[in-house]
Structure 1
Amino acid sequence: MTRWNLPLKRVTSILFILGLLLFGLFLLAQPACPGEECGEVTCPPGMVCCNPIEGICARPGDPCIQ
């Protein structure tokens, strides 16, 4: 039977790298920040819903054109 005789520093480094990889996978699995719901559509990021009945999005401060 072969026994793993790794120094503690190496084991710690390996566990740290595995932890970073798992954390990276966790961040990648998060959904992108969705835009604002506007009736049956979703406004893209940076836009706001100005008419939910018509599903019209506009930039903040811009007039709502129908």
Structure 2
Amino acid sequence: MSRRLPSDYYFYLALLKSSPFERRPRGWRYGTRRIGDSVVDRLVAAGRAQIIGDRVHLVEAER
């Protein structure tokens, strides 16, 4: 069950639609943009993303 996210987290979901985030020594990266661990944790907890290996992927909504 996915929970409602704060409105600013939808920006990160839009980034995940185009490419996964990669794990780096100081957190997560999308290109040169740093993504905080708390953002990734919140997306995973809400059921919107999943960590596979060293990447965070968007979870497709089941309809």
- Normalising by the residue count of structure 1, what TM-score does the alignment of the two structures yield? 0.23
More strand by share: 2
Larger Rg: 1
Higher relative contact order (CA 8 A, sep 6+): 2
- Normalising by the residue count of structure 2, what TM-score does the alignment of the two structures yield? 0.24
